Chains A and B, each alone.
Chain A
Amino acid sequence: MSITIKLFPKRLLAVAISVILPVTGFAANDLELLKQEVEQLKIDVKDAKEWRNQNSLMHMAGYADVGYVSNDNPAIEDSYTVGTFAPIFHYQYRDQVMLEAEMEFSVAEDGSTEVAMEYLTIDWIMNDNMILVAGQFLSPIGNFRQNLHPSWINKLPSAAPGFGHDGAAPVSDLGFQLRGGFNLGSMKANYAVYMGNGPELKAEIAELNASTIDEIEYDGIEAEAFGADRDGEKVVGGRFGLLPIPSLEIGVSFLSGKATVSEYEGTDDVSVYTASPVNDLSDLSTITSSDYDVTGVDVSWRNKSFDVRYEYIKSEVGETTISGFDLEAAKWSTWYGQVAYKIPSTKFEAVMRYTDFDSPHGSKDQQQTAVGVNYLIASNFIAKLGFEINDNPNAGQTAYDRTLVQLAYGF
C-alpha cells in the first residue's frame, strides 16, 4: 500500500512530462518559424510595391455615367445610353510635379467604342502661387468646361447648349498655362493664363448649282485641342476669379488670336465647282486667317441648401476671304442660369436651368428650360431625372423636348 502511494506521484509526473514536453517544443519551434515567414512576407510585399520609395504616388480617379433618353422627335428612338467612362490617372513625384491624364470612353450608336484624350498635362508646382501646366488641357475659359462638366458634378444629365462639344465655349487646347491662387487682402483670387495652338474653323459652301458656288459662310468653331498648329496662329487667353467671400466667386475670361478655315462642312471634293474654283484647304498657309476672340463671365454662389450659377460665353470670328468669296463675321454666344436646392434632411435635390444659345445659323439656336430631381445615393453617386423643354425661336425651326434618366458615379 505504501509502495503504491509512493509510486503514484512519480508515474503521474512522468506522464505529465512526456505529454507537455513535445507540445511546448513544437509550439516554440512553430512560432519561431512563423515569425521568420512573416518577416520574409513583409520583405516580399515591400519589394512587390509599384514604387520602391515614398517619393512617387499614383492614384486613379474619374467618373462614369449611364442612362436613358426619351426624345419627342419621332425620328429618334428612345434609347438606353452609356454616356462616358472617364478614368483620370494621377502620377505625382513628391510635391514638385504631377502628371494628369483623363481618357474618355464612350459607345457610339453603331456599337463601336470611341476613345478620346480629354486632357494630358504635366503640372510643375513652381511655388505656392503658381503651377506650370503643359500639354493638352481643358479650356480655362469659363467655369463649366474646366470644373463642372463631369457627370457626377453636373447637376443635370446634360450640358447646357453651347457648353458642350458644339458651340460657343472652347473645350480644350494644347499648349501651356500658368495658374494658381493667392490671397488678396481678406479676399481670395485664382487665375489661369495660357497660350495654345488654338481652334480651327469650319465653313459651309452654298451651291448655286452643282458646279457653281453661291457663297461661303462660317459653319462652326472647332475649339478642341489640335495636336499640331496647322495654321501657325497661336491664341492667348485666361480667366481671373475673385472670391470676395468664400461662398461667392466671380470670374472673367478672355481669349484672343487668329483661326483659319480648315474644312468645308459636308463637302469632300471642291474640284466639282469648275465654274467657281475654290481653295481646297490642303495648304492652310494659303488661307487668310480670321480674328478670333472669346469673352466670358461666370458667377457662382451657394449656402447650405442653395447652389446658384450663371455663366456667359461669346465667341466671335472676324471676316475673311477665300478664293474671292467673302465670309462675313460670325458670333456664337450662350448663357445659362442654374439654381439647385438640396432639400434639408433628405437626399433629394431639385434643379432648374435656363439656357439661351445663339449661333449664326438659325437652325442651331436653342432656348432650353431644364428641370431635374436628383437623389444622392452617396455624395459621389447620383441618380438624376431631368426634363428638357427645348425651343428654337426662329420661324420654321423645331426643337424637341427630352426626358433623361442618368446614374452618375464619381470615383
Chain B
Amino acid sequence: MKFNNKNLILISFALLGLALSASVAIAADYPEKGNFVKGAKAWADNCVRCHNMRDAKELRDDQWITTSFHMRVRGGLTGQETRDIITFLQQSN
C-alpha cells in the first residue's frame, strides 16, 4: 500500500508539473508564420548590431514575441523580418 501511495504521489506531482508548464506557456496564434531560414539570418545579422547574441532557447515562445517586437521598434526591423525571427526562435526552442 505504501508503495502504491508513493507512486501515486510521484505521478500526481509529474502531472501537476505538466499541467502547470503547459498552461503557463502561451501558444499564441500570432503573428503569422514567417520563414525559418530567413529568420535565422535576420537574427544573426540584426541582434549583434547593438548587443551580444542571446541564446535562442533563453525565453519561452510567448516571451520571444514581446522581445522581438521590442527589438523591432528599437532596431528598425520590418514586420516580415520580425515574423521570420520569431519563427526561427520559436522553432529553435
State whether B24 touches A95 (Cβ < 8 A).
no
Tell me the chain A residues, 213-229 only, with Cβ under 8 Å from chain B.
Answer: none
Given contacts A27-B4, A30-B8, contact A181 B69 (CB under 8 A): no
**A contact residues around B12 at 8 Å (CB):** 34, 37-38
Collect the chain A residues with CB atoms within 8 Å of residue B46's CB. 246
CA gap between A37 and B19 in the complex, in Å: 12
Q: Is the CB of B78 within 8 A of A181?
A: yes
Shortest CB distance A121–B (Å): 8
Complex Cα distance A382/B20, Å? 33
Given contacts A27-B4, A42-B23, A100-B73, contact A34 B11 (CB under 8 A): yes
Are A249 and B78 within 8 A (Cβ)? Answer: no
Residue A380 is within 8 A (CB to CB) of chain B in the complex = yes
Write out the residue numbers on chain A whose beta carbons fall within 8 Å of the beta carbon of B20.
Answer: 45
Do A182 and B78 touch across chains, with their CB atoms under 8 A apart?
Answer: yes
B80 at the interface (CB under 8 A from A): yes
**A191 is an interface residue with CB less than 8 A from chain B:** yes
Query: Within 8 Å CB of B37, what residues of A?
Result: none
For the complex, is A86 an interface residue (Cβ under 8 Å from B)?
no
Q: Do B49 and A300 touch across chains, with their CB atoms under 8 A apart?
A: yes
Given A128-B78, A128-B79, A191-B76, is A38 in contact with B69 using a C-beta cutoff of 8 Å?
Answer: no
Interface string of A236-269 (1 = CB under 8 A from B): 0000010000110100000000000000000000
The distance from the CB of A253 to the nearest CB of chain B, in whole angstroms, is 13
The answer to whether B76 and A59 touch across the interface, beta carbons within 8 angstroms, is no
How far is B28's CA from A51's CA once the two chains are assembled, in angstroms?
A: 12
Residues of chain A lying within 8 A (CB to CB) of residue B62 = 54, 57, 59
A293: shortest Cβ distance to chain B, in Å?
24
Q: Which residue of chain B has the shortest Cβ distance to A97 in the bound complex?
A: B69
Question: With A38-B15, A49-B23, A54-B29 known to touch, is A179 a contact of B54 (CB < 8 Å)?
Answer: no
The answer to whether B45 touches A246 (Cβ under 8 A) is yes
Report, nearest first, the 9 A-B pairs whose CB atoms are least far apart. Answer: A190-B76, A128-B79, A181-B76, A59-B66, A246-B45, A379-B52, A95-B31, A90-B66, A153-B51
Given contacts A59-B63, A95-B30, A189-B76, 4 further A-B contacts (CB under 8 A): A49-B24, A57-B65, A59-B62, A153-B50
22 A-B interface contacts by CB (under 8 A)? A26-B1, A34-B11, A38-B12, A45-B23, A51-B26, A55-B28, A57-B28, A57-B66, A90-B70, A98-B69, A98-B73, A100-B73, A123-B69, A125-B79, A131-B72, A179-B76, A180-B76, A181-B81, A182-B78, A192-B76, A246-B45, A379-B55
Binding site for B on A (CB under 8 A): 23, 26-27, 30-31, 34, 37-38, 41-42, 45-46, 49, 51, 54-55, 57-59, 61, 88, 90, 92, 94-95, 98, 100, 123, 125, 127-129, 131, 133, 146-148, 152-153, 179-183, 189-192, 241, 246-247, 249, 300, 302, 307, 376, 379-380, 410
- Which residues on B are within 8 Å of A, measured CB to CB? 1, 4, 8, 11-12, 15-16, 19-20, 23-24, 26-31, 45-46, 48-55, 59, 62-63, 65-67, 69-70, 72-81
